[in-house]
Amino acid sequence: MIEIIPPQSLGEWLAWASALVTILFGIICFFLPRTTYKILRLRTVEGVPEAVSESRATMAGFYLGVGILAIMFAQPFIWMALGAGWFFTALGRLVSIVFDRGNTLFNWISILIEAALAASPLLYALGYIA
C-alpha cells in the first residue's frame, strides 16, 4: 500500500509546493478548460470541439499525472521529471520571447512562475536544498 508521507524538510516542502501548484493547474485545466484558455489568452475556433479537449487531455493530463505521482512516490527521479517539465516550459517561453516577439509582461511573469516551479523540485532532488 502506498503511504503518503508529509514533507519533513524545507526542500521537501518546496518540492511539494511545486507539485501542489501543478495539480491545481491540472484541476483547472480539467474542469474549466474555457477559463484555462482565457487565462492563457487563447481562443478556440467555433465548431472544433477538439480544441477544448486539448485543455482537459494534453495539459491536465501532464499536470495531474506528474504532480500526483510526485507526491505519492516522493522519489528523486520523479521530482526531477516535475522540475524538468517546468524547466522546459520556461525555456520554451524564453525562446518565444526572443524569436516570436513575445516580450510582454504576461510572458515575463509566467516565466518567473515557471522557473520557480522548476527550481523547487530540481534543487531538492539534486541535493542543493535538504
Number of neighbours of residue 59 by Cβ within 10 angstroms: 19
Q: How far apart are CA 98 and CA 115, in angstroms?
A: 17
Tally of structural domains, the chain: 1
Q: What pLDDT, on the 0 to 100 scale, is given for residue 48?
A: 84
Q: What does the angle CA 4 – CA 7 – CA 13 come to, to the nearest 5 degrees? A: 130
Q: What pLDDT, on the 0 to 100 scale, is given for residue 99?
A: 97
pTM of the model: 0.92
Q: Is residue 56 part of a domain?
A: yes
- Structural domain boundaries, residue 44: 10-125
Q: Is residue 26 part of a domain?
A: yes
Q: Is residue 111 part of a domain?
A: yes
Q: What are phi and psi of 100, to 5 degrees?
A: -110, 15
Q: Is residue 1 part of a domain?
A: no
35, 89, 100, 121 from 104: Cα distances, Å: 21, 16, 11, 27
Residues (pLDDT < 70) of the chain are 1
